[in-house]
Amino acid sequence: MKLWSGFASKEADKLTNDFNSSIAFDSRMYKQDIRGSVAHATMLMEQGIISSEDGRVIIDGLYGMLADIENGALEIDMESEDIHTFIEGELTARIGDAGKRLHTARSRNDQVATDLRLYLRDEIDETVILLRKFIEVLLQKAALYVTAIMPGYTHLQRAQPITFAHHLMAYVEMLLRDLERMNDCRERMNVSPLGSGALAGTTYPLDRSMTAGLLQFDGITQNSLDGVSDRDFVLELASNLSIIMVHLSRMAEETILWCSSEFKFITLDDAFSTGSSIMPQKKNPDISELVRGKAGRVFGHLSALLCMMKGLPLAYNKDLQEDKEAIFDAVDTVKMCLTAFTPMIDTMTVNADAMRRAAAEGFINATDAADFLVSKDLPFRDAYKVVGRLVAYCTETKQTLEGLSLAEYRQYSPLFDDNIYSAVSLENCVERRTVDGAPAPQYVKAQIVRVREYLEGLK
């Protein structure tokens, strides 16, 4: 039985039915559809639009269906047009004519808009939990390596000394912004379109605020046209998910580099690596590579959703059915990536000695040598040139700035004295960077504490 049958003079072609059907993907919203229907029936009963007897029978029947679906006693009929049709049809089969009263003063347009907000609200909550778990793993790992020197890079060239903890905390900042965006999106999403009808509301005396409260919405949509046709919340969520994948993909790229023989900064646990079918020495960072690859998949869904929405006149159009597959897969992909990536980072071994050697070989303390000359009242641009010639000399003689003799230093400037060795010590270079946001260990430790306190303060 189709909810829209009655006007048509003949049955739709099977191909049309299959093309029109959404049950294959919207069946996952069965809980939300039943919750929305319970709230709607409760309001109809309270407003006297349906009898208390019918209302109680409907609600009991809906809860019975939910229990049966959950325990496997009731299978969703994948031949139904959509989840709404299945639930109403099954309800009517169970309780008789009372089930036909459930759809009073409701359209599938406001019904699906409500279901989708409820479903994505739940998915945001689950994604936020996964983000927090990942942040907590990064905080734990950072706390172990606040003094572990590594090169910081620009253009993928060794640039200045930082610590591994400082590097990890950069990703923590990204993920905190992701958390904020997800929570902001949830807040904007959390208004009820139920009662908007097909597009113009209804003549029944509905209490929209009541259904909103029963469904734990913060309020109601204020325009019935917008209520059924708005998918900004889907676009916003898809955008937020895409940004999360940007961050995961950037870190995935770095872990791929770090675990290579050329870097050897980390070693991935065997449980989160694979081997080669032909090369027995290989240990491949497949999880990182998959995360990096799946980022494009999520970006594609955002692009598809934007293209779908850009030309739609008000109000509802069948194009909007395309929103679900895209946003459902985007959410699933992000959750799957977080679930796989978090334990991989948690169990990786950090090769701090290799990081320290890379830092020592890259002249990443050259800026500090120039700053030493500036402290002797040499203009920075002149100091820059002096140290540039020193680096060229070190490269030619295969030395480091730390290993030069004072006589060699003074060949390039008489301003150098014994204190230059303290100035170019990698540990000192990091410890002196005490400006807020810099990699000094005491600052990074304080940053870790601040983030933990922030997370504890979140509801």
Give the residue numbers annotated as catalytic, written as ranges: 155, 276
Please name the residues in contact with 107: beta carbons below 8 A apart, sequence gap of 6 or more.
196, 197, 198, 199, 228
Residue type, 389: R
Cα(383)–Cα(397) distance, integer angstroms = 21
CA 93 to chain CA mean position, Å: 41
Contact, 402 vs 424, CB < 8 A?
yes
Instruction: Report angle CA 62, 66, 71 to the nearest 5 degrees.
Output: 150
Q: What are phi and psi of 247, to 5 degrees?
A: -65, -45
CA angle 356-360-365, nearest 5°? 115
**39-67: string of b/e by CB count within 10 Å (b at 16+)?**
bbbbbbbeeebbeeebbebbbebbebbbe
Q: d(Cα 229, Cα 107) in Å, to the nearest integer?
A: 13
Contacts of 346 (CB under 8 A, 6+ apart): 137, 140, 141
Cβ–Cβ < 8 Å for 192, 220:
yes
Alpha helix positions (H), 273-431: 286-309, 322-347, 352-360, 366-375, 380-397, 406-410, 420-424, 426-431
